[in-house]
Each structure stands twice: as structure tokens, then as C-alpha cells.
Amino acid sequence: MDHRDPETAATVIDLHSHVLVGIDDGPTEVAAALALLRALVDDGVERVCATPHVTPEYPTSVDRRDQALEALREAARSEVLPITVEQGGELDLAYAASWSDEELDAFTLAGGRALLIEFPWGGAWPLALAPTCRALRLRGYLPIVAHPERSRAVQAAPERIDELVVCGAVIQLTAGSLTGRFGSSARSSAETLIRTRRAHVVASDAHDAVSRPPDLTAARGHAPGWLFEAGADVLAGVAPRIPRW
């Protein structure tokens, strides 16, 4: 059964989700993960990258990720859900800067060349981020910087995102920031990054179907449609072109 509403939902590729069971701060049981997949389908998502945290707090191994990934795929098949769950990971900046190609390849999105990097949560600007993005580009990867609009450093100085864009990084906004789920500062920051053409793509960063749902449909009224459709370019290893308006 196709759970999407064809009158309201458009197809998107969600590049950032915490849908795997028991890996990080996402679902703790299969039923919750399936509920999240259904919510993604309702938002028009046909492909979703499972991007568990890969950090000192959540030291996700490739084997554990792959076991959880295959288990979720099997559960989705049994429910006949029309969604493909792809591999991925949300990498700590220090790992992205120091790992070998072999280590990084295990966490690329859908097995391609794109890497999702978590914007560090400290209040200060992460000085290593731009050099790391530049180095990754030189190694043939496409770095995607996750949800910078939720950082106090970006909210205080959004123009510093230019350092990352010049390096060839993709800037990913969270749908919930646009709807106000993360507060007025995150929403204002996201709107500024869109207005000043510093954002490339929107993803859900969903953790469950209730408290951290995808929010993609709700966010569509707050941002240009192309931001929701840029995932195909990213999975192809290409930084989406930002239209002029």
C-alpha cells in the first residue's frame, strides 16, 4: 500500500535521518522505526539515508550499522513500504578530518561520494571545519554540513558559512528549523541562509514519528521547492546549483 497523498506530497530524497533501531538517539524498537518510515513516505520520500551518529558518544561501527540497516530493510519489505533505506552516517568532524578513505567510504551516503558531517555544537566557530571540507573535496568527496542553522556560531555570524561554500561544501538545513521546531533563532538563521543563497538542500534529521518527525511537508511552505529536490544531485556527488531569484 502506498501511504503517500499524491495531491500534496512530492518525491524527495532525504539525506539525513536517524531511523535505525538501537544505534543512537533514534528509535529503540522496530515499531517506532517503521512509524518513522511511514511518516517519511507520507512526506513523499522514496529514498532515505540512514545516518546514525558516528561520534565518541555514539561510536557506531560499520558492522553494527549494517546489521541494523539490513534488519530495517527487511521490516520495511514485510510492511510493503515504498521506500528505500540507504547507508550513511553523521560523522564527527574529527573523524572526517582524520579517517582514511577506506574508513570514510563505509559511511558515504548510499555508497556514493557524499559525506554528512555534523556541525559541532560548541558556541565557538569550528576552525577545523573549512580546512576539513577543502581536504575532503581534494580527496574526491562531497562534504555535506548538517544543520548549521541550529548553531549559535552561525546564528551570530551567518556570513561565515561562505568559508564552507567556497570550499565546495553543501549546506544542509533541517526541515524542523523552518517550521520553528527548534526555536525562533534556528528558524531565523535558516531563513537568512536561504535568503542569502548560502543553503543547498533540506533534510529531515528525523528521529521518530512524534517528537522529532520528518516535518518535510510542513516545511515546504517556508522555503523554495528546489531545496527539497536537491538530494538527487548530492547522491550523484554534485553540489546543487543555487538558483538566482
Residue 63 pLDDT more than 50?
yes
For residue 6, what pLDDT is reported?
41
- On average, the pLDDT of the chain sits at 94
CA proximity to 244, closest of 232, 226, 230: 226
Task: Answer yes or no: is 6 within a domain.
Answer: no
Please give the Cα distance from 22 to 27 (Å, whole number).
6
Q: Is residue 58 part of a domain?
A: yes
CA distances (Å), origin 208, targets 5, 38, 115, 130: 20, 10, 22, 31
Question: Is 242 among the domain residues?
Answer: no
Collapsing DSSP states into helix, strand and coil, what is residue 74? helix
The count of structural domains within the chain is 1
Domain-located, residue 245: no
What is the tens place of the pLDDT at every residue in 140-175? 999 999 999 999 999 999 999 999 999 999 999 999
216, part of any domain: yes
**What do you get for the CA distance between the two ends of the chain, in Å?**
39
- Domain of residue 219 covers 12-235
Residue 8: predicted pLDDT: 40
What is the pTM for the complete model shown? 0.94
- On whether residue 109 sits in a domain, the answer given is yes
The residue with greater pLDDT, 68 or 243, is: 68
Q: What is the CATH number of the domain that holds 198?
A: 3.20.20.140
- Residues contacting 166, CB < 8 A, separation 6+: none
pLDDT in tens, 89-135: 999 999 999 999 999 999 999 999 999 999 998 889 999 999 999 99
